[in-house]
Structure 1
Amino acid sequence: MKDSAVVKVVNFAWFQGVWWLVILFQNQAVIPVLGLIALWLFLSSKRIEDIKLMSAVFVLGTLVDALLTYSGLFIFNETEALLSFWPIPIWLSLLWVAFAGTVYHSLTVFKGRPVLASIAGAVFAPLSYIAGAKFGAVELGASILFSYIFIALVWSVVFPLCFYLSNRFEAKLSQA
């Protein structure tokens, strides 16, 4: 599938589908989400780049949300632990994988624009977490205002970092 306006819309809709699945069904969504991630990788024109970025963001996102969980900002129900050794619910780690699947496709407007990416991360990511809390996927351990501000600060760095990583992976592939 070549990257075009249609691909951007399909990729955006794909991510929204994953988001709604994990927010509404948490652990029950793991298998369908894995299937959707596999489907995207099958369709992607940047399969190798997507796999590398998804792997890196899987680790990065799990660490970020684990720190936010250990700090008390995010609270998950103990019964949510599908994998007892995993620091956050696995569905949340998979959401990070799906997010990474948008970087080369529907989110290309932020490529090479770290300030814009920082602002977008600071504005929109907290809204996603707060919406997740409203649907019961996570409990916020602080007020909505404090949570928004703290998540905004984190994502003002994380979002542009994802594009930095994507550029590094593309550069290494073009050198090979």
Structure 2
Amino acid sequence: MKNTAVLKVANFAWFQGIWWLVILFQNNAVIPVLALIGGWILISPKRTEDIKLMSAVFLLGTVVDAVLTVCGLFVFNQTEVLVSFWPIPIWLSLLWAAFAGTVYHSLTAFKGRMVIAAIAGAVFAPLSYIAGAKFGAVELGTSVLRAYIFIALVWSVIFPLCFYLSNRFEAKQAQA
């Protein structure tokens, strides 16, 4: 499959489907989300890069959201933690991996535009978390305004970092 408008739209729809699955069904969405991630990897024209970036962002996002949880910004019900040693619900870590699956595809408009990526991350990522809270997937441990500010600060770094990592993985793949 070539990186065309159809691929971008399919990738965007794929991620939105995963977002809705995890927000509405949390732990009950884990198996379908794993299947969707596996399906994407099978059809991706950048399979190797996607796997590397999805793995890195899966871990990075888990650490980031674990820190925000420990700091009290996010509150999860203990029944949401499916794996006892994992610091956040696994569905949230999988959402990070799925997000990384959009970087080479539907989010290419941000590639090489780190300032725009920082602004977009600061504006849109908090809205996603707040929407998740409105649907009951997470509880905010502070006011919506404070949560927005903290998440905006974090994502103004995380979103450009994802593109930095994608460039590194792409460059290494080109050298191979």
TM category (shorter chain) comes to over 0.9
In the superposition, the TM-score normalised over structure 2's length comes to 1.00
Residue 97 (structure 1) shift:
0.5
Q: What's 1:32 paired with?
A: 32
CA deviation string 1:12-44 (max 9, x = no partner) = 000000000000000000000000001100110
Q: What's 2:66 paired with?
A: 66
Residue 81 (structure 1) shift:
1.1
Q: Percent identity?
A: 80
Unaligned runs of 5+ residues in structure 2 are none
Alpha-carbon separation, structure 2, partners of 1:75 and 1:82: 15
Q: What's 2:157 paired with?
A: 157
Q: What's 1:121 paired with?
A: 121
1:94 aligns with 2:98: no
Alpha-carbon separation, structure 1, partners of 2:113 and 2:138: 31
Instruction: Report 1:71-150 matches (<5 A).
Output: 71-150=71-150
Alpha-carbon separation, structure 1, partners of 2:152 and 2:118: 9
In the superposition, the TM-score normalised over structure 1's length comes to 1.00
CA deviation string 1:72-109 (max 9, x = no partner) = 00000011111010000000000000000000000000
Alpha-carbon separation, structure 2, partners of 1:142 and 1:2: 44
Q: What's 1:175 paired with?
A: 175
Residue 52 (structure 1) shift:
0.3
Alpha-carbon separation, structure 2, partners of 1:63 and 1:50: 20
Alpha-carbon separation, structure 2, partners of 1:81 and 1:174: 39
Aligned positions, number: 176
Residue 120 (structure 1) shift:
0.2
Residue 136 (structure 1) shift:
0.2
Alpha-carbon separation, structure 1, partners of 2:153 and 2:22: 24
Q: Secondary structure at the match of 1:49?
A: helix
Residue 144 (structure 1) shift:
0.3
Unaligned runs of 5+ residues in structure 1 are none
- Which amino acid in structure 2 is aligned with residue 151 of structure 1? I
Q: What's 1:42 paired with?
A: 42
- Which amino acid in structure 1 is aligned with residue 146 of structure 2? F
RMSD: 0.3
Residue 170 (structure 1) shift:
0.5
Deviant stretches of 4+, over 2 Å? none
Residue 140 (structure 1) shift:
0.1
Q: Secondary structure at the match of 2:102?
A: helix
